[in-house]
Chains A and B, each alone.
Chain A
Amino acid sequence: MNCQTLIEKFVNDRDETVVNQLGQLLITKELTLVDFIVDIGDYLQSTELSKRSTALTLIGNILNHLPNTFLQSNEIHHLLVFIGAKMGDHHILAQPAVDLFRILAKQSTINDEDCVIMMKSIFSDVYVQSFPQASRYNVFVILLHFLLYRLDAVQQLGSDFVCNFIQAMDGERDPRNLVLCFQCLQYMTKYLDIEPYKEELFEVVACYFPMEYKPKATNSETEETITHEQLVLSLRNVLTSNEKFAQYCIPMLIEKLESDIPTARLAAMDVFIHCIEEYNARDITSYLVPLWNLFSKQALCAENQEIETSALRAITSLMQLIGKSIQNDETEISTKKFVDRSIRECENFLKELDLKLVWPATKVLHAVARANTTCSSLIWSSILPLLMKQFENLEQINHKRTILDMIIYFLQLPNIRTTIKLPSGIPEELWILISTHFQTYPSHCLSLIHNLLQLHAVPSQVLEDDLTKFILQDNIADELKIKLSAVLRMLASSVSFDRICTNILTNLIQSWTVTKTAPTNETLECCIDLCHNSERCQERLERFFFPSAQFIRLLPSLFKYLSPIYILTNLFTSLFDLLLTLIDHDQYAKIFCSKCASVANESCKTFVENFYQSNLLNDSIWQTDKQMNLLVIMYFIGSLKRQFFQNELEIIFNRINKKLLEQILNHSSNEIINIYCYFFGNLINKLSSKNEIIEQAQTIIKQCETSLDQVHIHLWIILVKALILSRPTMIEQYISTLILWMNEKTPIGDLACQSLKVLTNFDEQSLLLSSQTDCIIHPMVKQIIFMNILSKMKPFLTNNDLLPNQMNVLVDLLDNIPKSIIQNEIISLLPILIRALTLPNETVWSSSLNSICNLIKSEPNTIIDHIDTILPRLTALSTYKKDMSIRITSLQCLKYITSLPIHKLQPYRRHVIHVLKTCVDDHKRLVRRQAVDTQMSWCLLNA
C-alpha cells in the first residue's frame, strides 16, 4: 500500500494503524520525509479546514512515533517555518500546530535559531490564553524545555522572553499548567535578566498567593492529579527565588500576616522562612520592625501549635536574615538592637510566672537565640543571670521548677551547639546553682548538667561528689535513671571530662570494695555507662570487672568500643562459667552468648575453631551433665556470621546433625527440645544456599510427616519455618499439609493450630531464628506467609463449622498481622470476627475485640451492616465480669461506633445508655474511666 492511500485512509476514516505503518516506512527509509510531505501536501493546503487540521494531526502523530534523533536540522527548519505559518492560519489549526512544535522542540538536532523562531512564533502569532488547557500545557512544556536545555537560545531573546511569558501565563487557572509555569519562572528568575519586568513578573505570580486549591476527587487511580502541596511548593519557590522580589514580596507578606485567616498567616510565614536564603536585609530595612512585631505577636498569642511553630521559625529566620547583613553599632540593621528589642518585650512576661505568657515568651527568646552565635550569646548573657536571680528570690517550689525548666530550655540549641561557648561567668554560676539544689531538684539538675556538658562547660569538682552521692543512694526513679545515664555517657565520651569520669568511677568502685559487698545493679549500670569511650573503654572496664547477671546484661552495650578478639578471649571466656549457671533461665545470658559470637570476624577464626573443636565436636558434650555447656555453645555457634564462618558452620552441621536429631527425639524436657529444634533450624537456614543441605532438611521433614506426635510436628514446623524464612516460596509445598492436619478433630488438629502460631509469630523470642543471629530472612517473608495462609484459609471461612481451635488461630492471626497487609481482607472477615464474639470459647474474645476495635477506629463505616449483631454483643461484653480488659475494649468499640451517622444509632441509644449506667458503676476504676468517656459520646450524640 503506498503512502498516498495510507494518508487517505487516515484523513477519511481516522484509521490510527496508519500512523504506525507510515512511521515504519519512514524509519526503514522506504519513504523519505520529503515524499511524505509532498504526498500529504494536498491535504495541508486543502480548502476544507477539517482536512488541513487532520493532516497536521497525522504529521504530529507520526513524528511522535519516531525517535527524537530522526529529523535533520534542515528538515526541522522547513517544518518549523511551515507550521509557524499555519499557526496564524486559523485558530483550529493552532492546536495540532502546537503539538507539532512540542515534538520538534524535543528533537535533539534542533538549532538555536530554530528555537528562537519557534518561541517568536508562539509569542507573536497566537494568544496562548485563548487555547484549551491541553494546548496551553504544551506551550508551557515547550518553554520549560527550552529553559532547561536551550538556555542560550532563550537568552538571545533576553528580557523579551520575560515580557512575553508574563502575557502568556497571565490569567492561567489550571493547576497542571500552573505547576509548569512556576517551574519556568523559577528558571527565568535565576538565568534571565528580569530587572525591567520584575514588578510585572511579581504581580503575575503574587495573585496566586496564598494558594487555595482543593484537588477534585478523581475516579480513576491512574489519572495524575496535582496536589495542593505541589502548588504551594512551586509557588513558594518562585517567590523566594530572587532577591529583586523582596521589595514587593515583604509588603504582601505583611498584609497577609495582618489578616484574620490563619491559613493565610501560615502561608506567609512559610514563604518568609524560605526567602532568607536569597533576600537581603538592606532591601527591606523599613519592614524589619513591623515583621518582628507581627511574628512575635503570632508566637505569643498563637491559636494553635502549628501557628506557634511557624511563628517561632519565622523569628529565627528573621534574626538570621538580619545577621547576614553587614552591620555595626551605627547601622539601622543591627542584631544587637533586635535582640535588645526582643528582651525588652519579653522580659516582663518571664517575671510573671502565674501568667500564661511565660512559656510563649521563653520560646520567642529561644527562637531568637537559635538564629546564630551572636544572638545566643546576647540572649544568654542577659536572660540567664536574670533567671538565676529570680530562682533565688522565689519561694514557691513550682515556680522554682518552672525557672529551672526555662534555663534548661534556653540551653538547648540543636543546630549550633558545637561552635559556641557560654558567656564567661555564667557556667560557673550555673554549676554552683546545680550543686546547691541537686538534692531538691535532681531531675532538673540532671537535665541541666546534660545541657551544660553538651556546651562543653567544664564542671567543678563538686559535681563528682554530687553525682557519686546521688548514684549510691537507693531507689533512683526510672525517669531519673535515664537522665543520669545520659549524663554519665556524656562525661565518659569526651576527653575533656576524663578526670571527672575517672574520679567518679574510683568513688563508685570504692563503695563496694571497701565494704566488701556486691555492687548494686544501679551502681554497676553507672560504671558501665562511664565506660562509653572508644579509647579508654577497656582500661576502665578492667578496673571494676565484676561477674554477675546484671553485668552480663549490661556488657553488650560496650561491645562497639572493644575489639572482637578481646571480647571473645577476655570477656566471653572469663564469664563462661557464670553463663553456664544462667543460660537456661536468663534471657540476657542467651543474648550475651549470641552478641559475643556476632562480633566475631576474620581475626577470631582460631578462637572459634578451637572453641567448637574442643567443645561441640567432643562426644562427651552429649551427656546429660553437660547440657548447659551445650546450650551456651548452641547460642554461640548459632550466632556466628555467615560471612566469616560459612565453612565452619557446614562442618559443624555435617558432624552433629545425626546426634542432634537423636537428642531432639529422645529428650525428656520440652523446653530443651525447643532450643535444640531452633538450633537445628538455625543451621539449616544459614546453610540454605547449599542444595544438598536443603535436600537433607526435606528428607527430615518427610520423616516427621510419617510419625505424627508432638515432637515430630514441632520439629517439622521449625524446619519448615527455617526454610521458608530464606525461601518464602517453599511455603506452598507445606501449607496444605498443615491445613490438612488442622482439619483433623484429634489432638493432631490442636497441635497443628499451635504450629501455625509458631509459623506466623515473629515477635517471639526465638533468638536462634532471627536476623539478630544472622539468619537469612527474605525481606517479603511476612507478607508472603500471611497471604498464603489467608488464601488457604478462605474456604474455611465460608464454611460455617469452624473448629474452636481454628477460630482461635485465625482470630489471633488477624490480630498479629500488620494491618496494611490485610486492609482489603479484613472487611470480608468481619462476620467471622463478630461470630467469634458469640462463641463460648472465651479466649478468642480478646483478640477478636482488638481487631474489631482497630477496624471501627480506622473505618467505622464498614461496621454499618453488622450493627444489629454487634451492638447487643458489645453491650453484653461491657459488663463481662471475669476480665476487665474485655470490658474496656468493648467500651472502646462502643465509643468509636458513635462516629457513625446518628440515624443508624438512634434505635439503640436508649438501651446502650442504660447499660452504660451500670458500667460507670464498675468496681474497677480504669473501666469506669473508659465507661465515662463512652457514656459522654453517647449522651452527646446529637450535640
Chain B
Amino acid sequence: MDLSSGPQNLNPTIYERTEERTVQASDYDNDASDEIDRREIFDLIRTINDPEHPLTLEELNVVDLDGVTIDNQANTVRVQFRPTIPHCSMATLIGLSIRAKLLYTLPSRYKVGVNIIEGAHIQENQINKQLNDKERVTAALENNHLRAVVNRCIIASDA
C-alpha cells in the first residue's frame, strides 16, 4: 500500500451528517432491554476518520445506514462500504479501520463481515478476501506502523 503519495481524491463530495440518535423514555428504564440494532452499529463506524481527509466516513458517504445489517439471533453483523472512487488505494485501510473499531467495541459474540459494495471498486474481490481473512487482519493489526495509522483513524472520533 502506498501511503506516502498525496491524496487521490482531491475534491470529494461531502454529505450531511445524520442527527444524533434521540433518547427515548424507555432508554432510562433499567428493566426494559434494548437490542443492538443497525443504527447502533452505524453510530460506531460513522465517526471513523477518513485516512486522507479530515472528514468522517459518514460525511464522505463511504458508509451509510443501509449498508449495515445485523442478525441478533445468528449473532452476525455485516458492513458494506463504498470507497469514494473505484481505484481508491485506501479502501483496504478503510475496511481495516472499520474492522478494528468493531473488534474493539462490539461484544465478542458477533461474527463481523466487512465488504465493499458490489461494483464500487476495481479490486473488490481481492480486498474483500483480505478483509475477511482473520489471520491477515490480526497480523495487520500487530504491525506497529499499520496499527498507528488505524488508531489515528478511529481515535479522533470523539475529539
Contacts and interface: CB of A to CB of B under 8 A. Distances in A.
Interface of A: 354-356, 398, 882-884, 917, 920-921, 923-926, 928-929, 932-933, 935-936, 939-940, 943
B30 A398 contact: no
A884 B107 contact: no
A482 B154 CA distance: 38
B14 A924 contact: no
Contacts of B30: 882-884, 924
Interface string B105-140: 111110000000000000000000000000000000
Contact of B154 (A355, A926, A940): A940
7 contacts: A398-B16, A921-B107, A926-B23, A935-B105, A936-B154, A936-B158, A943-B155
Nearest to A303: B54
B19 to A, nearest CB: 11
B155 A936 contact: yes
Contacts of B66: none
Given A355-B14, A923-B33, A924-B33, A940 B105 contact: no
Given A884-B28, A928-B40, A936-B154, A923 B34 contact: yes
A914 to B, nearest CB: 10
A494 to B, nearest CB: 36
Nearest to B103: A939
B77 to A, nearest CB: 13
A928 B44 CA distance: 11
A932 B21 CA distance: 15
Given A926-B23, A936-B158, 9 more contacts: A354-B13, A920-B107, A924-B30, A925-B36, A925-B40, A926-B27, A928-B36, A936-B157, A940-B155
B106 to A, nearest CB: 7
A884 B43 CA distance: 21
B114 to A, nearest CB: 18
Given A920-B105, A921-B109, A928-B36, A356 B14 contact: yes
Nearest to A934: B105
Given A355-B14, A884-B30, A925-B40, A920 B106 contact: yes
Given A883-B30, A925-B40, A943-B148, A917 B107 contact: yes
A317 to B, nearest CB: 29
B27 A925 contact: yes
Contact of A936 (B105, B109, B148): B105
Nearest to A923: B33
A882 B151 CA distance: 35
Nearest to B150: A943
Contacts of A882: 30
Interface string B1-38: 00000000000011110000001000110100110100
A921 B107 CA distance: 5
B14 A932 contact: no
Contacts of A929: 43
Nearest to B15: A354
A414 to B, nearest CB: 28
Contacts of B16: 398
Contact of B108 (A355, A917, A943): A917
Nearest to B157: A936
A935 B30 CA distance: 21
A936 B27 contact: no
A209 B45 CA distance: 45
A351 to B, nearest CB: 15
A882 B36 CA distance: 20
Interface in B51-101: none
Contacts of A936: 104-105, 154-155, 157-158
B76 to A, nearest CB: 15
Nearest to A933: B158
A838 B109 CA distance: 32
B84 to A, nearest CB: 14
B53 to A, nearest CB: 11
When A and B form their complex, which 9 residue pairs have the shortest distance between CB atoms, in order from nearest? A921-B107, A923-B33, A943-B151, A925-B34, A932-B105, A884-B30, A939-B104, A356-B14, A940-B155
Contacts of B104: 935-936, 939
A936 to B, nearest CB: 6
A354 B14 contact: yes
A932 B155 contact: no
Contacts of B151: 940, 943
A305 to B, nearest CB: 14
Contacts of B148: 943
Nearest to A913: B104
A923 B155 CA distance: 25
A668 to B, nearest CB: 37
A395 to B, nearest CB: 16
Nearest to B109: A921
Nearest to B43: A929
A355 B155 CA distance: 26
B28 A926 contact: yes
A894 to B, nearest CB: 15
Contacts of B155: 936, 940, 943
A943 B144 CA distance: 10
A253 to B, nearest CB: 28
Nearest to A353: B16
Contacts of B14: 354-356
Among A921, A925, A929, A939, chain B packs the most CB atoms within 10 A around the CB of A925
A884 B40 CA distance: 18
Contact of B27 (A356, A917, A924, A940): A924
Contacts of B33: 923-924
Nearest to B12: A356
Among B13, B15, B30, chain A packs the most CB atoms within 10 A around the CB of B30
A603 B120 CA distance: 81
A917 B106 CA distance: 8
A920 B106 CA distance: 7
A114 to B, nearest CB: 63
A917 B23 CA distance: 23
Nearest to A884: B30
B30 to A, nearest CB: 5
Nearest to B44: A932
A918 to B, nearest CB: 8
Contacts of B13: 354
Nearest to B14: A356
Nearest to B147: A943
Nearest to B108: A917
A5 B151 CA distance: 80
Nearest to B158: A933
A500 to B, nearest CB: 35
A924 B31 CA distance: 9
